Chain A
Amino acid sequence: MSTNLTLNGKAQALRSDPGTPLLYVLRNELRLNGAKFGCGMGQCGACTVIVDGKPVFSCLTPLAALEGRSVRTVEGLGSANAPGTLQAAFIRHQAAQCGYCIAGMLTRAQALLDKHPHPTEQQVRAHMEPNLCRCGTHHRILAAIMDVAHGGRP
């Protein structure tokens, strides 16, 4: 039995047990190690991915719930050689310190920017609330997102 979904724009048939959280499927079956395990309880946001345009905690998202749906991970935003607009802004603003939360920060912010390309700072703060950064680079993360929200540089 396999679960069929679209991952970063490509059709995928996944063999993992449907009762597996998406995070484990991404990291173990697909070797996509961008999304991180932080708390496993939907409290930190390190595992955030985009499902049908909405940011979700992949550690609590059953594979069984994803049949036919569209998943986007940080790997879908760009690569090390060709970072996406938001990733480039994070690099420019040196938004990562240890980097563990950054994949989740990027995907949550991307979901907002896809829907509202020019959010206010208040909207960004409210939207990013579920994601935590233990190093405390929130101000740089915020600055990077606002950079893109203001039209930014490429």
Chain B
Amino acid sequence: MKIRTIAGVGVAMLALTFGALYAWTRPTEIALATVALPAPSPGTLAAGARVVALGDCMVCHTAKDGAAYAGGLGLATPFGTIYSTNITPDPDTGIGRWSAAAFRRALREGVSRDGHLLYPAFPYIHYTRMSDDDIDLAYRYLMSRTPVRKPQPANELIFPLNFRPLLAFWNALYLHPGAPGPAAPAADPLARGRYLVDTLGHCASCHSGLNLMGGERKPAFQGGNIDGWDAPALTTLAHGPVPWRQQELVEYLRGGLSLGHGAAKGPMRPVTEHLATVPREDVEAIAAYLMSIQAPSAAADAGQASAPAPASVAAAPDAAGAAGARLFAAACASCHAASAPLTRINGRPGLALSSALHGPRPDNFIQTVLHGVPWDPASPVYMPPFADVLDDEQVAQLAAYIRTGIAARPAWHDVAKTSAKLRKETQE
């Protein structure tokens, strides 16, 4: 009885301490804006559109088939599902009554206008180093969008992470405000590229992977996994069967298709669609910076499985590979066989060079087979989905044939299991 009393008092004191600490540290509310903004000039609008495209705001803040910037996209994290917010200027459900100061604080500190802490799925740890000019341009652009009335769905997070004040501890670990980056497109493309990759484009959010605390792993850009897709390491681009070259990277980032590596798929596809709208010099700066952070080849090669370069000599097919070859003949060969007419159009990349076949894990191959590459009138890339044609065992047979027989790489493991998992995740 006595122990229980002491424990009870302890818990109560702890709660009190946390409560007091929270009340003391909780950011203050920033008053609603009272003055309507004047209409931005066309120059301001265009500059704002460029910042918002480079910041990839729309990718997360637009739900599937939803209105642009109205939020509601569910982001599946290891901690539960977080729904993106409405950043249209709707006064009640969007940011219509946010002042420029409130918007700036959200980007710099991850704090909402009313003082509650935002979840770091919103990449404020990167935006915190945005220039004042860029933040204001983004604000002016977003405030000039069509207001859409759409409340944010309730987040579905595991306890105790649904208690937002805990984020103060996370921020102490991972939010490092620094000097803002160069505001204007700088004369130095490397500095501009670094700003676009590290700060505005927040590439590390996907390409670094997350640790157990949900923080980005260090060193950055060693590769991660997002929405069931592998985001490849960005420090080994200059290695692999066909090393990326800077110009090819520019074409890929702007057009979503690389002749030596294949098409942008999954969450990377919308990124390339937005990069297609910004001035070419920005994408060239991004590519220049990425090429400057490549690991020395010895270190990179150690990271890659020691695999032979793709050769015309196919590995001797085992039973799964033979079954896969049959499936390939019927399902894939009309487009992907070396003799298929489609491979001759515009020098399309052969299947053997597709990055999805050369990664350490089969995830991107499986995703592409199951879901294809959806129609997009603006894109020359399309592939039909096979989720309703092939079961998980057949996907694994196909992988056995294509990975070893066509890409000449050592077999992946647990393909059927991964296929079942990815199929289930997409159905939810």
Residues of A participating in the B interface, judged by any CB pair closer than 8 Å:
17-22, 40-43, 51-52, 54-57, 59-65, 129-130
Contact = CB atoms under 8 A, between A and B. Distances in A.
Q: Which of B342, B384, B394 has the largest number of chain A CB atoms within 10 A?
A: B384
B323 A64 contact: yes
B332 to A, nearest CB: 8
Contacts, number: 62
Contact of A19 (B326, B382, B391): B326
B388 to A, nearest CB: 4
A3 to B, nearest CB: 11
A21 B388 contact: no
Given A19-B329, A41-B342, A56 B388 contact: yes
B330 A20 contact: yes
B75 interface: no
A123 B266 CA distance: 23
B335 A18 contact: no
A74 B386 CA distance: 21
Given A41-B335, A43-B382, A62 B327 contact: yes
Contacts of A54: 388
A64 B384 contact: no
A18 B384 contact: no
A68 to B, nearest CB: 10
A56 B382 CA distance: 16
A64 B330 contact: yes
A138 to B, nearest CB: 15
Q: Which of A20, A42, A54, A59 has the largest number of chain B CB atoms within 10 A?
A: A42
Closest 7 CB pairs of A and B: A42-B384, A62-B330, A54-B388, A19-B326, A19-B329, A21-B330, A64-B326
Interface string B315-340: 00000000101110111101100000
A51 B334 contact: no
A40 B336 CA distance: 12
B20 to A, nearest CB: 53
Nearest to A50: B388
A40 B389 contact: no
Interface range on chain B (Cβ under 8 Å from partner) = 20 to 34
A60 B390 CA distance: 11
Given A40-B334, A41-B335, A59-B334, A65 B329 contact: no
B351 to A, nearest CB: 14
B384 A19 contact: no
A59 B334 CA distance: 9
B375 interface: yes
Contacts of A62: 326-327, 329-331, 389
Contact of B326 (A18, A41, A42, A57): A18
Nearest to A52: B388
A92 B348 CA distance: 45
B330 A57 contact: no
Contacts of B384: 41-43, 57, 60, 130
A135 to B, nearest CB: 20
Nearest to B391: A65
Contacts of A18: 326
B421 to A, nearest CB: 20
Contacts of A17: 326
B382 A61 contact: no
Contact of B389 (A20, A43, A60, A129): A60
Given A41-B335, A130-B384, A61 B389 contact: yes
Given A41-B342, A65-B394, A56 B389 contact: yes
Given A54-B388, A61-B389, A65-B394, 4 more contacts: A19-B330, A42-B383, A60-B389, A64-B330
Contacts of A40: 334
Nearest to B340: A41
